[in-house]
Chains A and B, each alone.
Chain A
């Protein structure tokens, strides 16, 4: 239906487009700045003052230095390890939990559900959790970043809600055919829940990729540091020393700057590449979660 628009509405609409464009620019500009600065010539960058729209000169030197840094490669490998094992175990465990909670006619389901929900609202706190991990020998191992974080209760509830929305007749038919729970879960329910599983992979994956706090707390061996912890050293503690080696002291700061920006790009690009493809799924996840929450 075509609605005739008044003059005021047209003005509002124009204003709205301009405003939203400004918001987009604000959202993107810091990211753009980082990318542009990372490929700029380092000495031109330090002399420059004000808004940066395009790269000043062009140099991939900083990237060469970043990729030559063995710690960054180490960090990538460690992060990939916890990402792959983590997402795999997270999905399995969360699916099992969600399957159990979505079943009908199980006597102890309610108390177990209460026990799980309670952890959303109350926890022992940071220090007892740390002491628990120490107790269980989860410190100084990459498994300590995987196993204690396998089930996120919020994700569990989203998945449970999603499983419950599947028609019951499907599982009933499978049961009559003599299928066990594992079979029903992995061959009937999961194939029907691809969209929500994609959401879960994204949520868990982004969480693991971006996680740093527990890694910096329980890992003492530098060779086990995941990417974000190394990134933190480079960005916050100005630890570009090794990478800026062979540069005169005066140039240290300017070279350090481009190295920092290049490191940010290297650590962020993988996530930004995946996310637009999953966009149509994750709105769904937010909504299922919100219905319950």
Chain B
């Protein structure tokens, strides 16, 4: 049979599956309007955009906005804050759910296990507004955390105004909110470990600790590696929502990250093109990081995102 042209094949397929294409049309339009139109709109990063002239009508300025950002006094601080917050939350936040899952896995009383799961998943469902609202109230000079500090002989201080404590507060509250939810995936991996492996290890005289090192951890290592790679791939995309709710001018020095800066410069000060350029810079770095980690993941664990 003679191979037909691509256009012909598409036409034929369109005729055959037209009702299916018609059905998916709203979803297709959704992606065009709300995902691809903003991507096109990102070209204002290379323009001097004013709403009256519109995206097309605004004059091109090349890389001016990017150069301005790289030369700005904030550039180093924002990059440092973004990376530090991510790296700290990786170091402290990443192992936490694994440890919780390992502890839960040792519980034999099923009722207790279920209860612990229900309780530790709960904070995940509390809204960010409420969580940050609680943080603000608890860390106030008159708040409960200061009460505890005083009890142990410390001094009262407004904790959230202290730039040196900002990251600690951010990361501890993050762990509090997500540790249980994050443990689900490791618990599932743990339940898949063959019990014969443990029996064999026990006949060889391995105690609990040796079983952990030689049986449990190697069995869930693929899951751990995939999760770690995903986490590294999103180092630069740490969320702005919590930052916007928690920071204030007195903590900008450690708290302000790229995405919160984009928000401030763009939505609050309406510096459209400049903030879009900073956001685009962040997105591109993200994509590069993700591509590299994905390649690594393919080589190391034969799992990849695409």
- Flag if B119 contacts A283 (CB, 8 Å): no
CA distance A170 to B158 in the complex (A): 63
Interface residue? B168 (CB, 8 A): no
Within 8 A of B (CB), among A114-150: 115-117, 119, 121-132, 135-136, 148-150
Q: Give every chain B residue within 8 A of A24 (Cβ-Cβ).
A: 115-116, 119-120
The answer on a CB contact under 8 Å between B38 and A107 is: no
One of A98-106, A193-201, A240-248 at the interface? A98-106
- Asked if residues B39 and A217 are in contact (CB atoms below 8 Å), the reply is no
Contact check, B207 vs A33: say whether CB atoms are below 8 A apart.
Answer: no
Residues of B within 8 A of A112 (CB): 24, 28
Candidates B122, B127, B263; contact of A28 at CB < 8 Å: B122
Q: Given A108-B21, A126-B266 in contact, is the A27-B13 Cβ separation under 8 Å?
A: no
CB-CB < 8 A to A50: which residues of B? 144, 147-148, 151
Q: Are A97 and B184 closer than 8 Å at their CB atoms?
A: no
Contact of B134 among A12, A128, A264 (CB under 8 A): A264
Chain A: interface size category: 35 or more
Residues of A within 8 Å of B306, CB to CB, are 117
Asked whether A136 lies within 8 Å of B33 as measured between CB atoms, the reply is yes
Which chain A residues lie closer than 8 Å to B89 at the CB level? none
Which residues in B have their C-beta under 8 angstroms from that of A51? 144, 147-148
Closest CB-CB distance, A24 to chain B, in whole Å?
5
In the bound complex, how far is the Cα of B283 from the Cα of A124, in angstroms?
Answer: 8
One digit per residue, 1 when the CB lies within 8 angstroms of any chain A CB and 0 when it does not, for chain B 271-290 equals: 01001100110110011001
Q: List A21-44 residues whose CB lies under 8 Å from chain B.
A: 23-24, 26-28, 30-31, 33-34
Q: Is the CB of B41 within 8 A of A124?
A: yes
Shortest Cβ distance from residue B91 to the other chain A in the assembled complex, whole angstroms: 20
In the complex, which of the residues B41, B104, B128, B208 has the most CB atoms of chain A within 10 Å of its own CB atom? Answer: B41
Which residue in chain A gives the minimum CB-CB distance to B106? Answer: A16
**Is B185 in contact with A97, judged by CB distance below 8 angstroms?**
no
Question: Who on chain B is nearest to A117 by CB?
Answer: B306
Most buried by A among B118, B130, B147: B130
A151 within 8 A of B: yes
Contact yes or no, A123 B103, CB < 8 A: no
Q: Are A182 and B103 CB-contacts (below 8 A) given A125-B283, A231-B129, A264-B134?
A: no
Digit string of B115-156 for contact with A (CB within 8 Å is 1, else 0)?
Answer: 111111111011111101110111000101001101100000
Interface string of A150-192 (1 = CB under 8 A from B): 1100000000000000000000000000001110010000000
A124, A275, A290: the one within 8 Å of B42 (CB): A124
Q: Which of A28, A131, A151, A228 contacts B30 (CB 8 A)?
A: A151
Chain A positions 81 through 116: 1 when the CB is less than 8 Å from some CB of chain B, otherwise 0? 000000000000100110110010011100010011
User: A204 at the A/B interface (Cβ < 8 Å)?
Assistant: no
Contact B122 A236 (CB under 8 A): no
- B23, B41, B100: the one contacting A128 at CB < 8 Å is B41
Query: Are B188 and A287 neighbours in the complex by a CB distance under 8 Å?
Result: yes
**A residues near B275, Cβ cutoff 8 Å:** 126-127
Q: Which residues of B contact A127 (CB under 8 A)?
A: 44, 262, 266-267, 272, 275-276, 279
Complex CA gap A150/B31 in Å reads 10
Other-chain contact of A100, B24, B112, B259, B279 (Cβ < 8 Å): B24
* CB-nearest residue of chain A to B182: A286
Q: Which of B120, B125, B138, B263 contacts A23 (CB 8 A)?
A: B120
- Selected from A33, A131, A209, A283, the residue in CB contact (under 8 A) with B184 is A283
How close is B97's CB to chain A, nearest CB, in angstroms?
A: 11
Residues of A within 8 A of B208 (CB): 8-9, 12
Q: Are A8 and B40 in contact (CB under 8 A)?
A: no
Cα separation A43 to B119 with both chains bound (whole Å): 31
- CB-CB contacts below 8 Å: A246-280 with B: 257, 260-261, 264, 267-268, 271-272, 275-276, 279
A30–B145 alpha-carbon span in the complex (Å): 11
A107-B13, A236-B133 are known contacts. Are A268 and B127 too (CB-CB below 8 A)? yes
B61 in contact (CB, < 8 A): no
Whether A123 contacts B10 by the Cβ 8 Å rule is no
Q: In the complex, what's the smallest C-beta–C-beta distance from B235 to chain A, in angstroms?
A: 14
Q: What residues of A have a CB within 8 angstroms of the CB of B305 in the complex?
A: 121, 293
B34 touches A132 (CB 8 A): yes
22 A–B pairs (Cβ distance < 8 Å), ordered by A: A6-B207, A8-B207, A31-B126, A49-B147, A49-B150, A99-B23, A100-B20, A103-B20, A112-B28, A119-B36, A124-B40, A125-B262, A125-B283, A127-B272, A128-B38, A129-B38, A136-B33, A212-B128, A213-B244, A236-B129, A279-B121, A293-B226
Given A107-B9, A236-B245, 10 further pairs, Cβ under 8 A:
A8-B207, A26-B176, A28-B119, A31-B122, A97-B27, A124-B37, A124-B38, A128-B38, A128-B44, A268-B130
Question: Shortest 6 CB-CB distances between A and B: which pairs?
Answer: A124-B38, A235-B133, A125-B279, A128-B41, A210-B127, A107-B13
